[in-house]
Structure 1
Amino acid sequence: MTEAGAYRQIPGGVTAARGFSASGVPAGLKKDGKLDLALIYSEAPASAAGVYTTNLVKAAPLELTRRRVAAGTARAVIINAGNANACTGERGLTDAAAMARAAASSLGISEEEVLVASTGVIGVPLPVEKIAAAAPKAAASLSKENHTLASRAIMTTDLVPKEYAVQVHIKRSVVTIGGMAKGSGMIHPNMATMLCFITTDAAIGSEALQTALKKAVDRSFNMITVDGDTSTNDMVLALANGQAGNPEIKTDTEDYRLFYEGLLEVCTALAKMIARDGEGATRLIEVNVTGAPTKQDARLAARSVVGSNLFKAAVFGKDANWGRILCALGYSGATFDPTRADIFIGDVQVARNGGAVEFDEERATEMLNQDPVTVFVDLKSGAYSATAWGCDLTYDYVRINGSYRT
């Protein structure tokens, strides 16, 4: 366990919070009997919040879930991998609703209390009959211990499951916030090919939860990139069932600040796991920008550098080509004076005032061989800062995406 600020990391992922259980089972959507159906369940009705992809093309499960989250409460989430149920027309909406019905029937709850998510290949009808057949097994397998099985069941090209949880002391109560995520390719700011499910036993209303979630997503999942693509199914969902027994958290209070810090920690940890597990990636990249005239300028600058394919390829090759960093800053849309920018790769300064400076190439190569690779940029044009995360661009990225559908 680790401690930082007002929160403490604990094991348990999406089932760490009181009253939540999860499962992961094979439904036959993937080959070779792999896990491909996950279920998350709350013993009590929970406040619900969600943030969704900005892509104009939105998958059927996302459309259904967004409507149900707007009602304010939910009890369960059913998630399948292997098929995105996207660009499937009216049938897609019918199949998404059928997924929810199958889960609701197996759990003995109302269909309207079930949220739905899917990930996988686009444009292929969902074999919903397989999900309906597997839903009773998923419900029967629910437990506190099956959080990792659930996180594995939502993976597509991910190499590792992604889960994280923290505890926060609020008044005299201990509030737990946990979650799981998937994502490896088609990752870019403003939501990417990623799903994230966060659970908490905090007592907090849906409006306050929505406010906290959107702010946390902006600082975490919207600050990662792998390849510049944004998909059709992406969402972050949060459920809060109130079983911690704390006084209800209201916005603009100290309780809210403490809760938000814990939520941001969970979102940031999961976001960095996604970036580190980028398709074909060998190293995480972290870009820290300081000295920007506005917060937005700092965000634009950091995201531009971490998203530069040229710089990502240079990291893979351990080439301290700082010109690619300055170039990415220049087209980022951020306002700054290029003749004042300083750039560091790890502890090696590679540019000063927007120009060349002598540096130790061997030491810079060592810094580029670290994981994570850290880049520091001081624009010396203001007081704002931001951090973004990504990964290197490798030969394996092309190999994976050259045959993704087949």
Structure 2
Amino acid sequence: MTRAVVTGLGVVAPSGNSVAEHWRSTLAGELRVRRIERFDPARYSTTLAGQLTGFRPEEHVDERLRVQTDLWTWTALASAAQALDDAGYDPSAHDPYRTSVILGSGSGGNEFGQREIQALWSRGRRAVGAYQSIAWFYAASTGQVSIKHGTKGPSGVVVSDAAGGIDSLGWARRVLRRGAAAVIAGGTEAPISPYALTCQCASGLLSTAGDARRAYKPFDVDANGHVPGEGGAVLLVEDAASARARGVPHIYGEVAGYAATHDAHHYQDPAVDGHQLGRAMARALTDAGITADEVDLVVADAAGRPDQDAAEAAALRGVFGPGGVPVTAPQGLVGRLVAGGSALSVVTALLAMRDGVAPAVGNLDEPDPRHGLDLVTEPRHLPIGTAMVVSRGHGGFNSVLVLRGAAP
């Protein structure tokens, strides 16, 4: 079987606008959740979010393209360029039909849509621009990245809420096995606008705390929901043989196993038993051809709600046993980035494998002992040859990725 390896990483997130910034901030435990600044959130039940700092779209996207696209696409374009540069991969130097783009998307072009909706309400239908139809569309980032880099291989978008970032990597491996040489995968999001926040608040899953330290607290006794976040990560995934043949500068790890299940419970109320999530974990291990005791670290989904954290903890105990594997989840530092969050978790896992250090669970003060997990409460140095990344999407999606260190 074709081996899928990750050769390039790109990050634009609240934790930083590069891989190096993200990793430094994550290891330092820097809380990047703050009061929403783009508009006045006083009327909303949730007023906090993980927001980008210092990201200048004009440095990454031509002005003619910026007027046609949304922030989430700008972050995807910037992250993709980082990943390609990191891997030393120029799509124009290869057969365009052997390079693909598959990204996860959870919410589309919210800011652009917000402006167009306001123009419609205030000035009528003639005030709505033609670009609304393509800037909001959930496949816009996949299309724009493909156009920019001239790729023509099998491409697509995965819409499974927060699980989308992992699902895109599962699809990337499938496309490589069907003959592609490289796939640009991952996901970014920009769900911080009045309309998008209204939709998220209606779910009842968000924290209403006004203090960032008391808000998104995964696996904590004071867990009370999550807060939204923007940005994400893009990765370059290559066929191992093709990557080595072209002299790739480095390989971060191999996509060794992947599985996805669905709760089939309720489209709005998440299942609280964790059964299907545990099944996805077990199937991913089987796909990777390993047993649970070979996993050195889990990057958890960490929904930040007591019932959902309990469900994930039950699934982890069922697969690994009580305290059977170190578990981390830095997401509490940056918010829940929908598909961008699970892609960012994959980057975090790969960097932890590279450096042999597991970052701490983000914004965790008092671990809930009922979960029975070995939670990483401060950066922990340990050899990490195999890591598991877990993600769940609203509506019942469960996706799990197993990463393994690439053989030299």
TM-score normalised per structure 1: 0.26
Which structure has more relative contact order (CA 8 Å, sep 6+)? It is 2
- Structure having the larger proportion of residues in strand: 1
- Structure whose alpha-carbon radius of gyration is higher: 1
TM-score normalised per structure 2: 0.26
